[in-house]
Amino acid sequence: MSAERLLIIDDEPDICAFVKEVAEGMGFEVEATSDPEQFKALHDSFGPTTILMDLVMPEVDGIELLRYLAGRKTTARIMVMSGYSEKYLDSAQSLGQAFGLGGVRVLSKPIRLAVLREALATSEPA
């Protein structure tokens, strides 16, 4: 069994289900939530090796979660996704790096299957 563990947070259940199905097919153990408090609890108990998070959700700002992850000194690979412009994603990527997180990869919504698989298969953050 793979030691790869993926934690997903997104306010769209269909996105969570899609990513979970793809990741499990690739051998990941997966936890998914739309609740920021559950995300924080899962981060600490599940020990993800990869985190995929939406930047824009009604209950929490993705930048706030990046700060949280930096404060917890997470070593997980982080992928942020959004339907907003590439400039917004680039800013989030730079901010994650400024927070001291390892490379932060960005994905545009809607997520294409091939792009998601490639991102999950990459062992090093982009």
- Is position 59 within any domain? yes
The Cβ-side half-sphere exposure at 16, using a 13 Å CA radius, reads 14
Q: To 10 degrees, the CA torsion angle through 41, 42, 44, 50? A: -140
pLDDT of amino acid 125: 43
Longest alpha-carbon distance in the chain: 38
Q: pTM for this structure?
A: 0.90
Evaluate whether residue 68 is within a structural domain.
yes
Residue 33 counted as domain residue: yes
Which domain range does residue 9 map to?
5-121
Provide the CATH number for the domain around residue 51: 3.40.50.2300
Q: What is the DSSP letter of 85?
A: -
Q: How many domains does the chain have?
A: 1
- Look at residue 88 and tell me if it is in a domain: yes
The angle subtended at Cα 76 by Cα 124 and Cα 33, nearest 5°, is 125
Whether the CB-CB separation of 63 and 92 falls below 8 Å is answered with yes
Buried (b) or exposed (e) across 36-66, using 16+ Cβ within 10 A?
Answer: beebbebbeebebbbbbbbbbbeebebbebb
Average pLDDT, the chain: 89
State pLDDT tens for residues 13-29. Answer: 999 999 999 999 999 99
Distances (CA, A) of 43 to 5, 22, 107: 10, 20, 21
> For residue range 25-47, what is the model confidence (pLDDT) as tens digits?
999 999 999 999 999 999 999 99
